[in-house]
Structure 1
Amino acid sequence: MTADHNISVTDLIGNGAELLSVGGVPSPAVDAELLVAHVLELSRGELRARAVTGATVPPVLHTQIRALFARRAAREPLQHITGIAPFRSLELRVGPGVFVPRPETETVVQFAIDALNASATPEPIGVDLGTGSGAIALSMATEVIRSRIYAVELSPEAMPYTAQNFHRYGLTNATLVNADLGEALAELDGTVDVVISNPPYIPAAAIPRDLEVQLHDPALALYGGEDGLDVVRRVSTTARRLLHQGGTLVLEHGEEQASAIAALLTADGWNAVAHHRDLLGRDRATTALL
C-alpha cells in the first residue's frame, strides 16, 4: 500500500482485506471496512457510498489505517482497536481487561427481557451477575423501562469500562455494584424476578478456538475451574437466594455443557430446566424457574 498519494477507498479496503485474510481474520472484508470507517469517522454505509463514488483518502491517513490493519491481522480484537462493541441497541466502550460482548449473547438476554416483560410486578427486578461491559444489564434496563436492574462486577480491570457505559447511558433504573457475585445484593434476597449470567465457563485445561479470545479476553471472564462450572455453581446458589418463588434464571454456557448444567440445576432444586439453541443451532442458554 503506497502512502505518498491519494488512494481510493475501494483500494484501501481491498488492501486491508487482503492483509487481514493472510492473518486468518474470519471476516477480513467486513473488518477492513469497519477499520477504515473508524479512522474516517464514517458509518459503514457512508463509507460504502464514498467507495461507490470513487472517493479517495489522503496520505496523512494511510499510516494510521495501515497500523490498524496490522493490529487486526495480529488478531487483536476489532473492538479493542475501535474501543466500541455494538450490542443490540447499544454501543459499549470496551478494551483490554473487559470481556467483549458476543452476538450470541444478544439472543440469550432476550430470555431475561421476556421474563421481565411477563412479570405482573409493577417494577420487576433483574440482576446480571458478572456484568463485564454491562451489555446484558443495560439491555434489560433500556428495553424494559419499568424494571429495576442491578449489575454486579468484581474485576478492577473491567470496572472502568463498565462504569463508563453506565454513565454514558445515564439510566435511572440501572445500578452498578462492585462486588463478588456470591455475596452481592443481600438486601434483595427473595425479591428478584430474573437473574441472568454469562459466567466464565471454559474448563481450565481447554484452549479457546479463537485467537482473539485466547490472547486478549481476560482470564477471569473465561475460565470456570476444572470442569468450567465453578462459577455456574455459585450463580445457582446466589440466584436461589435472590429470586422470589417462580423467578427465572437465565444462564449462557458452552455448546457441550447443557446436560451437565441441567444435572447441576436439578440437583440444586430448580424447576422447568430448559435448553435453548443459538442461531447456529448450538446449545447456548439454559433457563430454569425457582
Structure 2
Amino acid sequence: MVSRKELFARCRALIAMRDDDTADFDTNCIFQDMLGEKNPMFAPQFPVPDDKVQEILSLAQRRSEGYPLQYLLGQWEFWGCNFKIGEGVLIPRPDTETLVEQVLDICRREKMTTPKIADLCSGSGCIAAALKKELPNADIYAVELSDKALTYLRQNMELNGCDVHIIQGDVLDSSTAEKVTELDILVSNPPYLTARDMSELQIEVQHEPASALFGGEDGLDFYRAMTKLWKSSIKQGGFIAYEFGMGQHDDVKAVLEENGFTDVELRRDGGGIIRTAAAVNQNLQCKF
C-alpha cells in the first residue's frame, strides 16, 4: 500500500504541471473529500486503500487537465454553507458574497425583517440560501430556467434547510415577472461575460454552462432587459441589487438610472474590484 505522503506527492506533481500555485490546495481538497477527513495529512504515513489510490489519482489527473476542482468534488462552500454542484450549474464564487453582504446591509439599514426578495438567475441557489440563512423570516423566491441548474437548486435548498419558493422560468419573459410582484428587493448575478470574454475563457471556465456566462456582445443584455421588465415587480422605494464584471459598473449604473432607479451604491469585492450595485426604485408600480 502507498502512504498518504507518497500519494500526496504524486498527485501534487500531476496538478503542478498545470498550476503549481494551486497544487497543494487542490490536492488537499481531493484528499479531504476522498478520505473523509478535515486534516488527512496529520497522519502522513497512514496507508491509502488500493481502491482509493486509483480514485484519487484519477481525480488528480482530471484536475491536471483543467477540469474544475469544484465539479470534481461535487460540492463547494459559499457563505459557510455547502452547495451541491456539477456540470450545468455555475460554480459559486467568493466575489458573489459581496452581493449578499450588500443586500443584508440594505435590510439592516431599512429595518427589513420580513422582506420579499427575488433572486433571478438563481443557479445553484447560493444567493437565495445565504439570504434565507441570515433572514429566516424573509419571503424568498429563486427563479431559474435551466433544468440542470434547477436540480441542484432544489437539492441545495433541502440540504441547507431553506424554505425558498422555486420558480422555473425565463427572467427575460414577462410571464415570469408576473409571478413575483410587490418585491422589497430584487437581486441577481446574471450572465455578464462579453463576446470577447467568451473567446478567451480559461479551460476551467469552459466547463461551466455558457448560458450562465454569456451576457451578449458587451455583456449587458441581461441588465438592460431585466431592469426594464422587472422594475414593475419592485415596490416603489424598493431595491435592486446586481453583481457584474470588472469595469462594467458605469454601464450598469447608467442602465439603472435610465430605468428610474436612484441612489446607486457601488461596492468593491475582497480584491478591490467594483463588483456590485444597489439602487432605489422610484417608479410608480403598475400592474402587468
Provide TM-score, normalisation by structure 1.
0.90
Cross-structure match for 1:6: 2
Cross-structure match for 1:258: 249
Quick one: distance in 1 between partners of 2:91 and 2:167?
Answer: 19
Change (3 A) 1:236 1:208: farther
Shift, 1:261, TM fit? 1.1
Quick one: distance in 2 between partners of 1:208 and 1:232?
Answer: 22
Cross-structure match for 1:180: 170
Change (3 A) 1:259 1:185: closer
Unaligned runs of 5+ in 2: 282-288
- Contact preservation (8 Å) 2:98, 2:276: no
Number of aligned residues: 278
Of residues 17, 20, 26 in structure 2, which corresponds to 1:22?
Answer: 17
- Contact preservation (8 Å) 2:82, 2:160: no
Cross-structure match for 2:286: none
Secondary structure of the residue that 2:193 maps to in structure 1? Answer: coil
Secondary structure of the residue that 1:99 maps to in structure 2? Answer: coil
Cross-structure match for 2:26: 31
The CA deviation string for residues 76-115 of structure 1, in whole angstroms up to 9 with x for no partner, is 1111111101111211111010111111111221111222
Shift, 1:208, TM fit? 4.6
Provide TM-score, normalisation by structure 2.
0.90
Give 1:41's aligned amino acid. G
Cross-structure match for 1:223: 214
Of residues 193, 209, 226 in structure 2, which corresponds to 1:202?
Answer: 193
The CA deviation string for residues 179-199 of structure 1, in whole angstroms up to 9 with x for no partner, is 11133252542x211111100
- Contact preservation (8 Å) 1:130, 1:181: yes
Cross-structure match for 2:126: 135
Shift, 1:139, TM fit? 0.6
Cross-structure match for 2:55: 64
The CA deviation string for residues 161-182 of structure 1, in whole angstroms up to 9 with x for no partner, is 111112223423x111101113
Of residues 275, 279, 285 in structure 2, which corresponds to 1:288?
Answer: 279
Quick one: distance in 1 between partners of 2:151 and 2:189?
Answer: 19
Quick one: distance in 2 between partners of 1:237 and 1:265?
Answer: 9
Quick one: distance in 1 between partners of 2:231 and 2:20?
Answer: 41
Indicate the percent of aligned positions where both proteins have the same amino acid: 31
Change (3 A) 1:239 1:48: farther
Secondary structure of the residue that 1:96 maps to in structure 2? Answer: coil
Cross-structure match for 1:114: 105
Structure 1 runs, 4 residues or longer, greater than 4 Å off = none
Give 1:29's aligned amino acid. D
Change (3 A) 1:268 1:220: same
Secondary structure of the residue that 1:158 maps to in structure 2? Answer: helix
Secondary structure of the residue that 2:90 maps to in structure 1? Answer: coil
Higher deviation after alignment, 225-234 or 237-246: 237-246
Quick one: distance in 2 between partners of 1:228 and 1:26?
Answer: 30
Quick one: distance in 1 between partners of 2:46 and 2:117?
Answer: 48
